[in-house]
Amino acid sequence: MSRWRPPAEKSTALITRGGHDRLKSELDELWRIKRPEVVKALAAAAAEGDRSENAEYTYRKKQLGEIDRRVRYLSKRLPSLRIVETVPTDPESVFFGARVEVENVASGESQRYRIVGPDETDARAGWISIDSPLARAMLKKRLDDEFEAMLPSGAARFVIVDVSYEDAGA
């Protein structure tokens, strides 16, 4: 059996100012604080002798690899991102950075989302990626427009109840 997988789709290189600042501070913390701590702990574990049975050494090597992987990713990703801080000319249409309230036509249930870049999604806060099926379906729709989105549970119809762009750069 082959381990080949098709290449992942390119994610959109858009981000809010707040998301960009969070990624930059994460990179800074990893590089200046966490990595030196792990390197120091790794050196101490290596000094204990036999590395083949040293759990602390194995753990720290793995931890250092994870930090280095994340640092490499952020170092490549941050320069390619485009920060979006402007409000669109039509504030009643759904675009990047919008806070959108949608109502499920079938159940009447209302949900609030914010459309953000793929690097800053947070399901608990209602921040969905612009690359998600729901966000793609609602892009360019206006207040009171009805649309259909293909969700993991199947097709669902929604109506846009509210669109706002307060603190769009955050």
Residue linked to tokens 């490549």: 76
Q: How confident is the model at residue 98 (pLDDT cuts 50, 70, 90)?
A: very high
Mean residue pLDDT across the chain: 91
| Cut 0.85: pTM above it | no
Residues 72-92: tens digit of each pLDDT: 999 999 999 999 988 888 888
C-alpha 69/C-alpha 147 separation (Å) is: 40
Q: Could you give the 3-state DSSP secondary structure of residue 31?
A: helix
What are the structure tokens assigned to 138, written together? 């609602």
117-to-13, 84, 170 alpha-carbon distances in Å: 7, 10, 12
Q: Could you give the 3-state DSSP secondary structure of residue 159?
A: strand
Residues 125-140: tens digit of each pLDDT: 999 999 999 999 999 9
Residues 31-69: tens digit of each pLDDT: 999 999 999 999 999 898 888 888 999 999 999 999 999
